[in-house]
Chain A
Amino acid sequence: MSPILEGQNLALRFVAVRALDDVSLALWPGEVVAIVGESGSGKSTLLRVLAGLAAPQAGRVLYHDADGAAQDVHALREAERRTLMRRDWGFVHQNARDGLRMGVSAGGNIGERLMAAGGRHYGNIRTAAAEWMARVEMDPARMDEAPRNFSGGMQQRLQIARCLVTRPRLVFMDEPTGGLDVSVQARLLDLIRSLVAELGLAVLFVTHDIAAARLLAHRIVVMRHGRIVEEGLADRVLDDPQHPYTQLLVASVLAA
Protein backbone atom coordinates (compact mmCIF):
# COMPACT_ATOMS: atom_id res chain seq x y z
CA MET A 1 0.00 0.00 0.00
CA SER A 2 1.18 3.54 -0.70
CA PRO A 3 0.28 6.70 1.20
CA ILE A 4 -2.69 8.66 -0.12
CA LEU A 5 -0.76 11.91 0.28
CA GLU A 6 2.91 12.66 0.66
CA GLY A 7 4.66 15.92 1.30
CA GLN A 8 8.36 15.73 0.51
CA ASN A 9 10.90 18.26 1.80
CA LEU A 10 8.48 21.16 1.68
CA ALA A 11 9.77 24.65 2.20
CA LEU A 12 7.98 27.97 2.11
CA ARG A 13 9.39 31.20 3.40
CA PHE A 14 7.55 34.47 3.85
CA VAL A 15 9.65 37.61 3.98
CA ALA A 16 11.03 37.15 7.47
CA VAL A 17 9.54 33.78 8.48
CA ARG A 18 10.31 30.22 7.53
CA ALA A 19 6.72 29.00 7.60
CA LEU A 20 7.79 25.55 6.31
CA ASP A 21 11.34 24.38 6.76
CA ASP A 22 12.03 21.04 5.05
CA VAL A 23 8.82 19.31 6.11
CA SER A 24 8.02 15.74 5.02
CA LEU A 25 4.81 14.00 5.92
CA ALA A 26 2.81 10.99 4.73
CA LEU A 27 -0.88 10.27 5.20
CA TRP A 28 -2.27 6.78 4.67
CA PRO A 29 -5.69 5.84 3.29
CA GLY A 30 -8.30 5.94 6.04
CA GLU A 31 -5.89 7.56 8.46
CA VAL A 32 -6.66 10.61 10.61
CA VAL A 33 -3.68 12.79 11.37
CA ALA A 34 -3.70 15.87 13.58
CA ILE A 35 -1.19 18.66 13.13
CA VAL A 36 -0.69 20.44 16.43
CA GLY A 37 1.52 23.28 17.55
CA GLU A 38 1.27 26.78 18.91
CA SER A 39 -0.04 29.68 16.88
CA GLY A 40 2.32 30.71 14.08
CA SER A 41 4.12 27.36 13.98
CA GLY A 42 3.16 26.79 10.33
CA LYS A 43 0.22 24.39 10.67
CA SER A 44 -2.14 26.21 8.32
CA THR A 45 0.63 26.82 5.81
CA LEU A 46 1.48 23.12 5.77
CA LEU A 47 -2.17 22.20 5.29
CA ARG A 48 -2.61 24.70 2.44
CA VAL A 49 0.52 23.51 0.67
CA LEU A 50 -0.51 19.86 1.02
CA ALA A 51 -4.01 20.70 -0.22
CA GLY A 52 -2.66 22.47 -3.29
CA LEU A 53 -3.92 25.88 -2.19
CA ALA A 54 -0.45 27.40 -1.79
CA ALA A 55 2.65 26.46 -3.78
CA PRO A 56 5.81 25.46 -1.90
CA GLN A 57 9.14 27.07 -2.83
CA ALA A 58 10.85 23.69 -2.57
CA GLY A 59 9.70 20.09 -2.31
CA ARG A 60 6.65 18.44 -3.78
CA VAL A 61 3.30 16.97 -2.85
CA LEU A 62 2.27 13.60 -4.26
CA TYR A 63 -1.31 12.39 -4.28
CA HIS A 64 -2.02 8.74 -5.00
CA ASP A 65 -5.41 8.61 -6.67
CA ALA A 66 -7.97 5.80 -6.49
CA ASP A 67 -6.32 4.09 -9.47
CA GLY A 68 -2.98 4.13 -7.68
CA ALA A 69 -1.43 6.75 -9.98
CA ALA A 70 0.80 9.33 -8.29
CA GLN A 71 -0.02 12.96 -9.10
CA ASP A 72 2.44 15.75 -8.41
CA VAL A 73 -0.16 18.16 -7.04
CA HIS A 74 1.66 21.40 -7.75
CA ALA A 75 2.80 20.29 -11.21
CA LEU A 76 -0.77 19.55 -12.37
CA ARG A 77 -2.46 21.87 -14.81
CA GLU A 78 -4.86 24.14 -13.01
CA ALA A 79 -7.92 22.49 -14.49
CA GLU A 80 -6.72 19.08 -13.30
CA ARG A 81 -5.93 20.37 -9.84
CA ARG A 82 -9.35 21.97 -9.53
CA THR A 83 -11.02 18.75 -10.61
CA LEU A 84 -8.99 16.81 -8.09
CA MET A 85 -9.87 19.23 -5.30
CA ARG A 86 -13.55 18.99 -6.04
CA ARG A 87 -13.79 15.31 -6.83
CA ASP A 88 -11.32 13.57 -4.53
CA TRP A 89 -10.75 16.12 -1.78
CA GLY A 90 -12.58 18.38 0.60
CA PHE A 91 -11.37 21.36 2.63
CA VAL A 92 -13.09 22.58 5.78
CA HIS A 93 -11.99 26.06 6.77
CA GLN A 94 -11.91 27.47 10.27
CA ASN A 95 -13.96 30.41 9.09
CA ALA A 96 -17.21 29.32 7.44
CA ARG A 97 -17.01 32.44 5.27
CA ASP A 98 -13.99 30.95 3.50
CA GLY A 99 -15.68 27.63 2.89
CA LEU A 100 -19.26 28.60 2.09
CA ARG A 101 -20.89 30.86 -0.44
CA MET A 102 -22.67 33.23 1.89
CA GLY A 103 -25.02 34.47 -0.84
CA VAL A 104 -26.20 30.97 -1.72
CA SER A 105 -28.71 28.82 0.19
CA ALA A 106 -27.64 25.84 2.31
CA GLY A 107 -28.93 23.47 -0.37
CA GLY A 108 -27.12 25.37 -3.12
CA ASN A 109 -23.90 25.26 -1.11
CA ILE A 110 -24.13 21.50 -0.77
CA GLY A 111 -25.27 21.06 -4.37
CA GLU A 112 -22.45 23.10 -5.90
CA ARG A 113 -19.97 20.27 -5.97
CA LEU A 114 -22.54 17.96 -7.53
CA MET A 115 -23.19 20.54 -10.23
CA ALA A 116 -19.46 21.03 -10.74
CA ALA A 117 -19.23 17.29 -11.24
CA GLY A 118 -21.87 17.55 -13.98
CA GLY A 119 -25.06 17.06 -11.92
CA ARG A 120 -27.94 18.50 -13.97
CA HIS A 121 -30.96 17.01 -12.23
CA TYR A 122 -32.43 19.58 -9.86
CA GLY A 123 -34.52 17.04 -7.95
CA ASN A 124 -31.58 14.70 -7.38
CA ILE A 125 -29.40 17.57 -6.23
CA ARG A 126 -32.02 18.60 -3.69
CA THR A 127 -32.47 15.06 -2.49
CA ALA A 128 -28.73 14.70 -1.98
CA ALA A 129 -28.55 18.09 -0.22
CA ALA A 130 -31.39 17.11 2.12
CA GLU A 131 -29.75 13.77 2.85
CA TRP A 132 -26.47 15.43 3.70
CA MET A 133 -28.10 18.03 5.89
CA ALA A 134 -29.68 15.19 7.84
CA ARG A 135 -26.36 13.36 8.05
CA VAL A 136 -24.67 16.36 9.61
CA GLU A 137 -27.68 16.75 11.93
CA MET A 138 -29.16 19.85 10.36
CA ASP A 139 -32.85 20.29 9.58
CA PRO A 140 -33.35 19.57 5.85
CA ALA A 141 -36.48 21.73 5.96
CA ARG A 142 -34.11 24.71 6.21
CA MET A 143 -32.22 23.95 3.00
CA ASP A 144 -33.38 27.12 1.26
CA GLU A 145 -32.10 29.39 4.01
CA ALA A 146 -28.89 31.39 3.68
CA PRO A 147 -25.83 30.34 5.73
CA ARG A 148 -26.04 33.49 7.83
CA ASN A 149 -29.32 32.19 9.33
CA PHE A 150 -27.39 29.35 10.95
CA SER A 151 -25.23 29.35 14.08
CA GLY A 152 -21.45 29.00 13.86
CA GLY A 153 -21.60 25.30 14.69
CA MET A 154 -24.28 24.73 12.05
CA GLN A 155 -22.24 26.61 9.46
CA GLN A 156 -19.35 24.23 10.09
CA ARG A 157 -21.72 21.28 9.65
CA LEU A 158 -22.85 22.83 6.39
CA GLN A 159 -19.23 23.14 5.24
CA ILE A 160 -18.70 19.48 6.07
CA ALA A 161 -21.83 18.43 4.16
CA ARG A 162 -20.72 20.55 1.20
CA CYS A 163 -17.37 18.73 1.15
CA LEU A 164 -18.65 15.22 1.68
CA VAL A 165 -21.55 15.21 -0.79
CA THR A 166 -19.26 14.05 -3.60
CA ARG A 167 -17.73 11.36 -1.37
CA PRO A 168 -14.11 12.55 -1.38
CA ARG A 169 -11.30 10.23 -0.25
CA LEU A 170 -9.32 12.89 1.56
CA VAL A 171 -10.44 15.82 3.68
CA PHE A 172 -8.36 18.70 5.03
CA MET A 173 -9.65 20.63 8.03
CA ASP A 174 -8.11 23.76 9.51
CA GLU A 175 -9.29 24.24 13.10
CA PRO A 176 -12.79 23.01 12.23
CA THR A 177 -14.04 23.63 15.75
CA GLY A 178 -12.06 26.81 16.41
CA GLY A 179 -14.01 29.74 17.75
CA LEU A 180 -17.03 27.65 18.80
CA ASP A 181 -18.49 27.18 22.29
CA VAL A 182 -17.03 24.23 24.12
CA SER A 183 -20.25 22.20 24.12
CA VAL A 184 -20.79 22.95 20.42
CA GLN A 185 -17.19 21.90 19.76
CA ALA A 186 -17.70 18.59 21.51
CA ARG A 187 -20.82 17.74 19.50
CA LEU A 188 -19.14 18.72 16.24
CA LEU A 189 -16.10 16.59 17.04
CA ASP A 190 -18.38 13.61 17.73
CA LEU A 191 -20.07 14.13 14.40
CA ILE A 192 -16.77 14.38 12.54
CA ARG A 193 -15.52 11.26 14.27
CA SER A 194 -18.53 9.17 13.30
CA LEU A 195 -18.60 10.43 9.70
CA VAL A 196 -14.90 9.79 9.24
CA ALA A 197 -15.22 6.26 10.57
CA GLU A 198 -18.36 5.56 8.52
CA LEU A 199 -16.87 6.84 5.26
CA GLY A 200 -13.34 5.57 5.83
CA LEU A 201 -11.95 9.02 5.02
CA ALA A 202 -8.35 10.03 5.23
CA VAL A 203 -8.25 13.27 7.22
CA LEU A 204 -5.52 15.77 7.85
CA PHE A 205 -6.60 18.32 10.39
CA VAL A 206 -5.02 21.24 12.13
CA THR A 207 -5.86 21.97 15.72
CA HIS A 208 -4.37 23.58 18.75
CA ASP A 209 -6.82 21.65 20.90
CA ILE A 210 -5.02 18.63 22.34
CA ALA A 211 -8.33 17.09 23.42
CA ALA A 212 -9.62 17.25 19.85
CA ALA A 213 -6.44 15.61 18.61
CA ARG A 214 -6.81 12.83 21.16
CA LEU A 215 -10.44 12.23 20.24
CA LEU A 216 -10.04 12.15 16.46
CA ALA A 217 -6.50 11.37 15.45
CA HIS A 218 -4.74 8.11 14.90
CA ARG A 219 -1.47 9.93 14.58
CA ILE A 220 -0.19 13.32 15.71
CA VAL A 221 2.37 15.59 14.11
CA VAL A 222 3.84 18.35 16.26
CA MET A 223 5.06 21.53 14.55
CA ARG A 224 7.27 24.30 15.81
CA HIS A 225 8.86 27.15 13.84
CA GLY A 226 7.96 25.51 10.52
CA ARG A 227 9.47 22.12 11.39
CA ILE A 228 8.03 18.83 12.56
CA VAL A 229 9.59 18.24 15.96
CA GLU A 230 7.78 15.05 16.84
CA GLU A 231 5.29 12.63 15.35
CA GLY A 232 3.80 9.31 16.33
CA LEU A 233 0.65 7.43 17.30
CA ALA A 234 -1.73 9.76 19.11
CA ASP A 235 -1.69 7.96 22.45
CA ARG A 236 2.07 7.64 22.44
CA VAL A 237 2.67 11.30 21.65
CA LEU A 238 0.15 12.53 24.20
CA ASP A 239 0.97 10.08 26.99
CA ASP A 240 4.70 9.92 26.49
CA PRO A 241 5.88 13.05 24.65
CA GLN A 242 9.57 12.91 23.80
CA HIS A 243 10.33 16.43 22.64
CA PRO A 244 10.41 19.11 25.36
CA TYR A 245 8.17 21.33 23.21
CA THR A 246 5.58 18.55 22.95
CA GLN A 247 5.81 18.06 26.69
CA LEU A 248 4.99 21.73 27.22
CA LEU A 249 2.21 21.57 24.66
CA VAL A 250 0.61 18.51 26.23
CA ALA A 251 0.87 20.10 29.64
CA SER A 252 -1.07 22.98 28.05
CA VAL A 253 1.58 25.40 29.12
CA LEU A 254 1.73 26.87 25.65
CA ALA A 255 -1.24 28.95 24.72
CA ALA A 256 -2.35 28.49 21.15
Chain B
Amino acid sequence: MTDPGYNFAYLDEATKRMIRRALLKAIAIPGHQIPFGAREMPLPYGWGTGGIQVTASILGPDDTLKVIDQGADDTTNAVSIRRFFHRVAGVQVTTRTAEATIIQTRHRIPERPLTEGQVMVFQVPMPEPLFKLEPRLAETRRLHALGDYSLAQVKLYEDIARQGEGGSAYSHPVMVNHRYLMSPSPIPGFDNPKLHMSPALMLFGAGREKKIYAVPPYTSVVSLDFDDHPFRPVRAPHACAACGSTTSYLDEIVTDDRGGRMFVCSDTDHCAENQMARKAAE
Protein backbone atom coordinates (compact mmCIF):
# COMPACT_ATOMS: atom_id res chain seq x y z
CA MET B 1 0.00 0.00 0.00
CA THR B 2 1.15 3.56 -0.68
CA ASP B 3 2.46 5.39 2.36
CA PRO B 4 -0.15 8.15 2.92
CA GLY B 5 2.51 10.46 4.33
CA TYR B 6 3.84 11.21 0.83
CA ASN B 7 2.49 12.42 -2.48
CA PHE B 8 2.36 9.60 -5.05
CA ALA B 9 5.99 8.67 -5.91
CA TYR B 10 7.31 11.06 -3.23
CA LEU B 11 7.80 14.23 -5.34
CA ASP B 12 5.11 16.93 -5.29
CA GLU B 13 3.17 17.41 -8.53
CA ALA B 14 4.74 20.80 -9.35
CA THR B 15 8.23 19.32 -9.21
CA LYS B 16 7.17 16.36 -11.34
CA ARG B 17 5.71 18.73 -13.92
CA MET B 18 8.94 20.72 -13.98
CA ILE B 19 10.97 17.54 -14.49
CA ARG B 20 8.57 16.28 -17.17
CA ARG B 21 8.99 19.55 -19.05
CA ALA B 22 12.76 19.05 -18.95
CA LEU B 23 12.25 15.45 -20.12
CA LEU B 24 10.11 16.55 -23.06
CA LYS B 25 12.79 19.04 -24.10
CA ALA B 26 15.43 16.35 -23.74
CA ILE B 27 13.45 13.95 -25.92
CA ALA B 28 12.93 16.68 -28.52
CA ILE B 29 16.69 17.34 -28.72
CA PRO B 30 18.26 13.86 -28.50
CA GLY B 31 21.53 13.80 -26.57
CA HIS B 32 21.35 17.45 -25.50
CA GLN B 33 21.68 18.17 -21.78
CA ILE B 34 18.77 20.07 -20.24
CA PRO B 35 19.23 21.74 -16.85
CA PHE B 36 16.54 21.06 -14.28
CA GLY B 37 15.87 22.19 -10.73
CA ALA B 38 16.92 19.02 -8.96
CA ARG B 39 15.30 18.43 -5.58
CA GLU B 40 16.80 17.04 -2.43
CA MET B 41 15.98 13.39 -2.19
CA PRO B 42 15.98 11.20 0.90
CA LEU B 43 19.11 9.46 -0.45
CA PRO B 44 22.70 10.66 -0.87
CA TYR B 45 23.83 11.81 -4.36
CA GLY B 46 25.94 8.76 -5.15
CA TRP B 47 22.77 6.70 -4.84
CA GLY B 48 21.24 7.93 -8.03
CA THR B 49 19.04 10.83 -7.01
CA GLY B 50 18.93 12.05 -10.63
CA GLY B 51 17.53 8.75 -11.82
CA ILE B 52 15.14 8.55 -8.88
CA GLN B 53 13.67 11.98 -9.66
CA VAL B 54 13.19 11.01 -13.30
CA THR B 55 11.54 7.74 -12.30
CA ALA B 56 9.32 9.53 -9.76
CA SER B 57 8.19 11.97 -12.45
CA ILE B 58 7.21 9.39 -15.06
CA LEU B 59 5.88 6.65 -12.80
CA GLY B 60 2.16 5.90 -13.03
CA PRO B 61 0.08 3.56 -10.83
CA ASP B 62 0.03 0.89 -13.58
CA ASP B 63 3.77 0.78 -14.08
CA THR B 64 5.97 -2.13 -13.15
CA LEU B 65 9.39 -1.09 -11.93
CA LYS B 66 12.70 -2.91 -12.10
CA VAL B 67 15.87 -1.50 -10.52
CA ILE B 68 19.34 -2.78 -11.31
CA ASP B 69 22.76 -1.92 -10.01
CA GLN B 70 25.78 -3.47 -11.76
CA GLY B 71 23.23 -5.60 -13.62
CA ALA B 72 21.92 -7.13 -10.41
CA ASP B 73 18.53 -6.64 -8.79
CA ASP B 74 19.65 -7.68 -5.33
CA THR B 75 22.34 -5.18 -4.35
CA THR B 76 21.65 -2.80 -1.46
CA ASN B 77 21.24 0.16 -3.78
CA ALA B 78 18.79 -1.59 -6.11
CA VAL B 79 16.81 -3.07 -3.24
CA SER B 80 16.44 0.25 -1.44
CA ILE B 81 15.35 2.16 -4.52
CA ARG B 82 12.84 -0.56 -5.42
CA ARG B 83 11.53 -0.59 -1.86
CA PHE B 84 11.35 3.19 -1.81
CA PHE B 85 9.08 3.31 -4.85
CA HIS B 86 7.00 0.42 -3.66
CA ARG B 87 6.39 2.34 -0.47
CA VAL B 88 5.80 5.85 -1.87
CA ALA B 89 3.96 4.85 -5.07
CA GLY B 90 2.61 1.40 -4.35
CA VAL B 91 3.64 0.27 -7.83
CA GLN B 92 4.39 -3.28 -8.87
CA VAL B 93 8.05 -4.13 -8.73
CA THR B 94 9.83 -6.90 -10.58
CA THR B 95 13.25 -8.31 -11.28
CA ARG B 96 12.17 -9.54 -14.73
CA THR B 97 13.26 -7.35 -17.62
CA ALA B 98 10.40 -8.68 -19.75
CA GLU B 99 7.77 -7.59 -17.23
CA ALA B 100 9.11 -4.11 -16.44
CA THR B 101 7.69 -0.95 -17.98
CA ILE B 102 10.35 1.22 -16.30
CA ILE B 103 13.88 0.04 -15.57
CA GLN B 104 16.06 2.25 -13.43
CA THR B 105 19.71 1.39 -13.78
CA ARG B 106 23.14 2.40 -12.61
CA HIS B 107 25.65 0.48 -14.74
CA ARG B 108 23.99 -1.74 -17.28
CA ILE B 109 21.43 -2.13 -20.00
CA PRO B 110 19.73 -5.54 -19.72
CA GLU B 111 20.86 -8.29 -22.10
CA ARG B 112 17.29 -9.13 -23.11
CA PRO B 113 16.39 -6.81 -26.01
CA LEU B 114 14.14 -4.00 -24.86
CA THR B 115 10.76 -3.47 -26.45
CA GLU B 116 8.54 -0.57 -27.46
CA GLY B 117 6.90 1.05 -24.48
CA GLN B 118 9.72 0.25 -22.09
CA VAL B 119 11.62 3.13 -20.50
CA MET B 120 15.19 2.96 -19.23
CA VAL B 121 16.15 5.49 -16.55
CA PHE B 122 19.91 5.92 -16.06
CA GLN B 123 21.46 7.26 -12.88
CA VAL B 124 24.25 9.46 -14.20
CA PRO B 125 27.18 10.65 -12.08
CA MET B 126 28.80 12.88 -14.75
CA PRO B 127 26.67 13.97 -17.70
CA GLU B 128 29.30 16.07 -19.51
CA PRO B 129 31.30 13.95 -22.00
CA LEU B 130 33.89 16.72 -22.42
CA PHE B 131 34.37 17.17 -18.69
CA LYS B 132 37.86 15.66 -18.48
CA LEU B 133 39.02 17.50 -21.58
CA GLU B 134 37.60 20.95 -20.97
CA PRO B 135 36.92 21.79 -17.32
CA ARG B 136 35.24 25.16 -18.09
CA LEU B 137 31.51 24.44 -18.31
CA ALA B 138 30.75 27.57 -20.36
CA GLU B 139 33.30 26.39 -22.92
CA THR B 140 31.82 22.87 -23.08
CA ARG B 141 28.40 24.41 -23.74
CA ARG B 142 29.91 26.42 -26.56
CA LEU B 143 31.56 23.32 -28.04
CA HIS B 144 28.23 21.47 -27.96
CA ALA B 145 26.49 24.42 -29.60
CA LEU B 146 29.11 24.45 -32.35
CA GLY B 147 29.10 20.67 -32.64
CA ASP B 148 32.88 20.88 -32.21
CA TYR B 149 33.96 17.52 -30.85
CA SER B 150 37.56 17.34 -32.04
CA LEU B 151 38.65 17.34 -28.38
CA ALA B 152 36.83 14.07 -27.76
CA GLN B 153 38.48 12.64 -30.85
CA VAL B 154 41.87 13.77 -29.54
CA LYS B 155 41.14 11.99 -26.27
CA LEU B 156 40.36 8.82 -28.19
CA TYR B 157 43.58 9.26 -30.18
CA GLU B 158 45.50 9.51 -26.91
CA ASP B 159 43.80 6.40 -25.51
CA ILE B 160 44.79 4.37 -28.55
CA ALA B 161 48.32 5.79 -28.61
CA ARG B 162 48.72 4.88 -24.94
CA GLN B 163 46.81 1.63 -24.62
CA GLY B 164 46.65 0.49 -28.22
CA GLU B 165 42.89 0.24 -27.91
CA GLY B 166 40.02 2.69 -28.32
CA GLY B 167 37.42 1.08 -26.12
CA SER B 168 37.29 2.95 -22.86
CA ALA B 169 35.80 0.33 -20.56
CA TYR B 170 33.03 2.66 -19.31
CA SER B 171 31.32 5.84 -20.43
CA HIS B 172 32.64 5.61 -23.97
CA PRO B 173 31.21 8.75 -25.64
CA VAL B 174 28.56 8.44 -28.35
CA MET B 175 27.17 10.70 -31.06
CA VAL B 176 23.40 10.88 -30.75
CA ASN B 177 21.28 11.50 -33.83
CA HIS B 178 24.46 12.68 -35.64
CA ARG B 179 24.40 15.89 -33.61
CA TYR B 180 25.23 15.80 -29.90
CA LEU B 181 28.08 14.06 -28.17
CA MET B 182 26.70 12.25 -25.14
CA SER B 183 28.12 10.34 -22.22
CA PRO B 184 26.31 7.03 -21.71
CA SER B 185 27.74 7.21 -18.23
CA PRO B 186 28.46 4.87 -16.57
CA ILE B 187 27.61 1.80 -18.69
CA PRO B 188 30.36 -0.39 -20.14
CA GLY B 189 31.22 0.08 -23.81
CA PHE B 190 29.74 -3.40 -24.24
CA ASP B 191 26.27 -1.87 -23.76
CA ASN B 192 26.75 1.08 -26.14
CA PRO B 193 25.37 -0.77 -29.19
CA LYS B 194 22.16 -1.44 -27.25
CA LEU B 195 21.45 2.30 -27.33
CA HIS B 196 21.46 2.39 -31.12
CA MET B 197 17.97 2.28 -32.66
CA SER B 198 16.52 0.86 -29.48
CA PRO B 199 12.72 0.55 -29.43
CA ALA B 200 12.82 1.73 -25.80
CA LEU B 201 13.00 5.30 -24.53
CA MET B 202 16.26 6.12 -22.72
CA LEU B 203 16.23 8.83 -20.05
CA PHE B 204 19.31 10.03 -18.20
CA GLY B 205 19.20 11.92 -14.90
CA ALA B 206 22.19 13.52 -13.16
CA GLY B 207 21.17 14.69 -9.69
CA ARG B 208 24.29 16.46 -8.50
CA GLU B 209 24.94 18.11 -11.89
CA LYS B 210 21.21 18.87 -12.31
CA LYS B 211 21.01 17.71 -15.93
CA ILE B 212 18.58 15.54 -17.86
CA TYR B 213 19.10 14.10 -21.33
CA ALA B 214 17.43 11.48 -23.47
CA VAL B 215 17.62 9.15 -26.43
CA PRO B 216 14.16 8.67 -27.98
CA PRO B 217 13.22 5.29 -29.48
CA TYR B 218 14.78 4.40 -32.83
CA THR B 219 17.52 7.02 -32.66
CA SER B 220 20.99 6.64 -34.11
CA VAL B 221 23.64 6.30 -31.39
CA VAL B 222 27.19 5.81 -32.63
CA SER B 223 30.24 5.24 -30.45
CA LEU B 224 33.12 7.59 -31.24
CA ASP B 225 35.93 5.81 -33.06
CA PHE B 226 38.44 5.93 -35.92
CA ASP B 227 37.88 4.34 -39.34
CA ASP B 228 40.92 2.10 -38.84
CA HIS B 229 40.19 1.47 -35.14
CA PRO B 230 36.45 0.81 -35.13
CA PHE B 231 34.72 0.75 -31.78
CA ARG B 232 34.52 -2.82 -30.47
CA PRO B 233 32.32 -3.73 -27.53
CA VAL B 234 34.43 -5.97 -25.31
CA ARG B 235 33.49 -8.71 -22.86
CA ALA B 236 35.65 -11.14 -20.91
CA PRO B 237 36.43 -14.07 -23.24
CA HIS B 238 34.73 -16.71 -21.10
CA ALA B 239 31.44 -18.53 -20.73
CA CYS B 240 29.22 -17.71 -17.75
CA ALA B 241 29.96 -20.22 -14.99
CA ALA B 242 26.27 -20.30 -14.05
CA CYS B 243 24.38 -20.37 -17.36
CA GLY B 244 27.09 -20.98 -19.95
CA SER B 245 26.34 -17.83 -21.96
CA THR B 246 29.14 -16.80 -24.28
CA THR B 247 27.49 -13.56 -25.37
CA SER B 248 26.50 -11.80 -22.14
CA TYR B 249 28.59 -9.26 -20.24
CA LEU B 250 30.46 -10.98 -17.41
CA ASP B 251 31.54 -10.00 -13.92
CA GLU B 252 34.67 -11.52 -12.49
CA ILE B 253 34.13 -12.99 -9.06
CA VAL B 254 36.95 -13.93 -6.72
CA THR B 255 36.04 -17.28 -5.19
CA ASP B 256 38.79 -17.79 -2.60
CA ASP B 257 41.94 -16.17 -1.28
CA ARG B 258 44.23 -18.31 -3.47
CA GLY B 259 43.48 -16.43 -6.67
CA GLY B 260 40.47 -18.55 -7.60
CA ARG B 261 37.97 -16.69 -9.76
CA MET B 262 35.06 -17.25 -12.04
CA PHE B 263 33.01 -15.33 -14.53
CA VAL B 264 29.24 -14.98 -14.30
CA CYS B 265 26.63 -12.87 -16.07
CA SER B 266 26.41 -9.36 -14.67
CA ASP B 267 22.70 -9.35 -15.64
CA THR B 268 21.21 -11.60 -12.96
CA ASP B 269 17.76 -11.80 -14.53
CA HIS B 270 19.22 -12.81 -17.88
CA CYS B 271 21.37 -15.45 -16.21
CA ALA B 272 18.37 -16.88 -14.33
CA GLU B 273 16.36 -17.02 -17.58
CA ASN B 274 19.20 -18.83 -19.32
CA GLN B 275 19.51 -21.34 -16.49
CA MET B 276 15.78 -21.98 -16.54
CA ALA B 277 15.77 -22.49 -20.30
CA ARG B 278 18.67 -24.90 -19.91
CA LYS B 279 16.84 -26.91 -17.24
CA ALA B 280 13.70 -27.01 -19.34
CA ALA B 281 15.68 -28.37 -22.26
CA GLU B 282 17.27 -31.13 -20.19
Q: Which residues of A contact B (CB under 8 A)?
A: 78-79, 82, 101, 104-105, 107-108, 111-113, 115-116, 120-126, 144
Contact = CB atoms under 8 A, between A and B. Distances in A.
Given A121-B228, A123-B228, A105 B161 contact: yes
| Shortest Cβ-Cβ A-B pairs, 4 listed | A116-B150, A122-B226, A115-B153, A115-B150
A17 B164 CA distance: 53
A115 B146 contact: no
A115 B154 contact: yes
Contacts, number: 48
Contacts of A79: 146, 148
A120 B154 contact: no
B45 interface: no
Interface in B109-150: 142, 146, 148, 150
A82 B148 contact: yes
Contact of A144 (B161, B225, B228): B161
Interface in B69-121: none
A115 B225 CA distance: 11
Dominant SS at the A interface?
helix
A121 B162 CA distance: 17
Contacts of A108: 154, 157-158, 161
Nearest to A79: B146
A139 B6 CA distance: 68
B229 interface: yes
B227 interface: yes
Given A115-B150, A115-B153, A122 B229 contact: yes
B165 to A, nearest CB: 11
Contact of B146 (A78, A111, A112, A121): A78
Given A120-B153, A120-B225, 13 more contacts: A82-B148, A105-B161, A107-B161, A108-B161, A111-B154, A112-B154, A115-B150, A116-B150, A120-B226, A121-B227, A122-B157, A122-B228, A126-B161
Interface string B208-229: 0000000000000000011111
Nearest to A124: B228
Interface string B148-176: 10110110011011100000000000000
Contacts of A120: 153, 225-227
Nearest to A101: B154
A105 B160 contact: no
Contacts of B151: 112
Contacts of B226: 120-122
A105 B158 contact: yes
Nearest to A114: B150
19 contacts: A101-B154, A107-B161, A108-B154, A108-B157, A108-B161, A112-B150, A112-B151, A112-B154, A116-B150, A120-B153, A120-B226, A120-B227, A121-B226, A121-B228, A122-B226, A122-B227, A122-B228, A124-B228, A144-B161
B147 to A, nearest CB: 8
Given A101-B154, A108-B154, A122 B148 contact: no
Contact of B157 (A78, A82, A115): A115
Contacts of B158: 104-105, 108
Nearest to B146: A79
A125 B157 contact: yes
Contacts of A101: 154
Contacts of B146: 78-79, 82
A16 B161 CA distance: 49
A110 B180 CA distance: 25
A94 B162 CA distance: 29
A148 to B, nearest CB: 15
Contacts of B150: 112-113, 115-116
A122 B160 contact: yes
B229 to A, nearest CB: 5
Contacts of B227: 120-122
A161 to B, nearest CB: 15
